[in-house]
Amino acid sequence: MVDYNELRKKFPVKNPARTRKTAAIKAIAREYERKKAELEGLGAPVMKKGIVFYAVVIIGLLMLGGLVLSATGRGGRAPISKAQIQAQKSVDALATALGRYRYHVGAYPTTAEGLEQLASVKVIRRGWDGPYIRKVVKDPWGHDYVYVCNGEGADPTLYSKGVDGLAGTSDDVLPTAGLFEAAFTDTSWTKGWMPYTLRGYVVAPDAATKAQIEGEVQSIIAAESVQAEAAARRAQEKVSVVFTSVGPELAAVELRFFDADGNETEVKTRNYRWARPYEFSSEAAFMVKVEPEAKALADGEVGFASARLVDFDWLPLERADGEVTFSIDGPGEILAVHGSLADGTAVVAFRRLFGSGRPIRLTGAFNGVRADTVVIPRS
């Protein structure tokens, strides 16, 4: 029999560290086998299907969940309708107009005045320069827009009640944030004009710059004051126009100006010329054609317009019997009329009055034919 103890003594191990490392690895392997056996005894799950099977199951569950969310209305935001887009644009436009109204007047319209104040052409308030919208309409669903003035220092309440017509529900359409203040943060729309409520209010980084800016502001205010006084004097003066002669292409006129006391201050003579057509008509008259000299008039400015009778092809009649009747609607007055069509053309002199931004509507009429109206805005 072999005595291993004697052999180990005779042939000792050359690398004891390697032997210990091998023994440690074997011990770890035995521990792993023991733990595995314990888990299998407890019924640990075993993957009996392939990975493709479980991937298909997971995808199916995700699709089912998406269908459930869609059915309950929580799977995403519903598409925005054209009516909602139009309501948002309208509410934003009203908010912008309200800001501009406050920029000029210093306060929002009262709740009693309502949004109609923005479209009014008869508002008389210091600083007012409206109208600010053409007209007030209902929202796309036929409901009135809600407007409430919340007093000084607070933004007003403005919104559309949405498709359900109920206030305070989730479909209400509110204005975009910041639009009530847009008129103050970007004043390019005013073309340099400043309301009286902001004049003299200067913010500057230092005292020297502040003093310089205040001086410039005071100069501007003084110049505006002089202009305002001159405009006030012009508003009180009277103008008389006399047609000294009227021909086929030219009218000679005399303008006389009088102060508030009736004293004559100035006399001017001028010619008003219009284009004579190259071709005339021998057909029956269809309508009056009115042609103003200027496309726009400033406050107090005198304007002229000619009127002819034309046929269905817009060709003018060379002569006609009778007179054209002129009328004016808006801030203006008729000064003088040469309504005779003996030379084929009638002429009117008119003046734009002060204190309103409305345009002038000048109408020429003749018995038995269609009248014509031209619109002349303020320049």
Sorting pLDDT into bands at 50, 70 and 90, what band is 8? low
Cis previous bond, 292, omega within 30: no
Please tell me which residue, 212 or 312, carries the higher pLDDT value: 312
Judge whether residue 232 has pLDDT over 80: no
Domain-wise residue ranges, the chain: 1-44, 82-190, 204-235, 238-376
Q: Copy the structure tokens of residue 125.
A: 């308030």
The pLDDT tens digits of the residues spanning 341-369 come to: 988 999 999 999 887 788 999 999 999 89
Mean pLDDT of 311-324: 91
Cα angle, residue 107 at apex, residues 106 and 110 outer, rounded to 5°: 155
Mean pLDDT of 273-278: 89
Judge whether residue 281 has pLDDT over 60: yes
Sorting pLDDT into bands at 50, 70 and 90, what band is 153? confident
Provide, rounded to the nearest whole percent, the portion of the chain with pLDDT above 90.
41
Q: Copy the structure tokens of residue 43.
A: 């019924």
Measuring CA to CA, which residue among 351, 131, 120 is closest to residue 235? 351
14-23, 25-34, 58-67, 180-189: least confidently modelled range: 14-23
pLDDT value at position 254? 94
Q: Copy the structure tokens of residue 12.
A: 């000792």
Q: 26: buried, middle or exposed (CB in 10 Å: 19+, 13-18, 0-12)?
A: exposed
6-10, 35-39, 61-65: least confidently modelled range: 6-10
Sorting pLDDT into bands at 50, 70 and 90, what band is 161? very high
* Average pLDDT score, the chain: 83
Q: Copy the structure tokens of residue 107.
A: 């306060």
Judge whether residue 234 has pLDDT over 80: no
212-221, 253-262, 285-294: least confidently modelled range: 212-221
Beta bridge partners of 291: 306
Please tell me which residue, 264 or 66, carries the higher pLDDT value: 264
Measuring CA to CA, which residue among 158, 51, 49 is closest to residue 101? 158
The pLDDT tens digits of the residues spanning 135-152 come to: 899 999 999 999 999 988
Judge whether residue 11 has pLDDT over 70: no
What count of Cα atoms within 13 Å lies in the side-chain half-sphere of residue 166?
A: 5
At residue 299, what is the residue type?
Answer: D
Sorting pLDDT into bands at 50, 70 and 90, what band is 315? very high
Beta bridge partners of 340: 323
Provide, rounded to the nearest whole percent, the portion of the chain with pLDDT above 70.
81
Place of tokens 């308030």: 125
CB neighbour list of residue 97: distance below 8 Å, 6 or more residues apart: 118, 132, 133
pLDDT value at position 291? 95
Sign of torsion over alpha carbons 303, 306, 312, 315: negative
Sorting pLDDT into bands at 50, 70 and 90, what band is 127? confident
Mean pLDDT of 153-163: 92
Please tell me which residue, 29 or 39, carries the higher pLDDT value: 29
Judge whether residue 210 has pLDDT over 60: yes
Sorting pLDDT into bands at 50, 70 and 90, what band is 203? low
pLDDT value at position 338? 94
Integer Cα distance of 253 and 277 in angstroms:
22
Integer Cα distance of 262 and 45 in angstroms:
113
Mean pLDDT of 300-327: 92
Integer Cα distance of 119 and 109 in angstroms:
11
**Quick one: 82-190 is in which CATH superfamily?**
Glycoprotein, Type 4 Pilin (3.30.700.10)
Annotation: CATH topology of 238-376: Immunoglobulin-like (2.60.40)
pLDDT value at position 72? 55
pLDDT value at position 356? 78
Sorting pLDDT into bands at 50, 70 and 90, what band is 179? very high
